Amino acid sequence: MTLLPRILVIEDGHEYSERFQRFLGHEVHFARAACLAEARRELAAGGRGLLLDLDFRRTNSADLVDETGESRVALADDERKRLAEMQGILILRALRGLGCALPVLLFADIDDSSQIAFLERTLAPLRILSSGVSLPEIARQIREMVA
């Protein structure tokens, strides 16, 4: 029996994990995590890469991490919104700090090309994909990740 290569999808919903499982589930096993703590547990089982959403607005405040990788039980509304809007980057920074060197596809609409270049350089290996990227192109990049 051949085991499928494993990719961890970190998102606050199920849209990415369900979509990719539907289209590529015969080639890749997609595990899912909803926050940094779950991602750390899932990564213990191994994997070839990460697919990461940027915005985690549906996540409970207690599961959001800040720039230090820590969670706090109580957050002011403006702080919660700020952390949720960039949670994917904060989770990735925490994982990189823990030694995770897996390649990452981050799904984010970032207009500033210098910010994209900074993130791709400092959090490498990282590719940022906008919402305009087609499913066949995403599938190609996932296949490259697991090759």
pTM of the model: 0.94
Domain-located, residue 1: no
pLDDT for residue 2: 64
Sign of the C-alpha dihedral computed for residues 33, 128, 136 and 59 taken in this order? positive
Averaged pLDDT for residues 95-100 = 96
Mean pLDDT of the chain: 94
Cα distance between residue 134 and residue 74, in whole Å: 38
Integer Rg of the chain from CA: 15
* Nearest alpha-carbon partner for 13 in 47, 54, 42: 54
- pLDDT tens profile 39-94: 999 999 999 999 999 999 999 999 999 999 999 888 899 999 999 999 999 999 99
Domain-located, residue 64: yes
Specify the pairing of strand 29-33 against strand 6-10.
parallel
Q: What CATH number is associated with residue 47?
A: 3.40.50.2300
Contact (CB, 8 A) for 72 and 94: no
Give the domain range for residue 108: 6-146
Domain-located, residue 96: yes
pLDDT band for position 1 (cuts 50, 70, 90): low
What is the full DSSP assignment across 59-87?
A: S-GGG-B-TTS-B-S---HHHHHHHHHTH
Report the number of distinct structural domains present in the chain.
Answer: 1
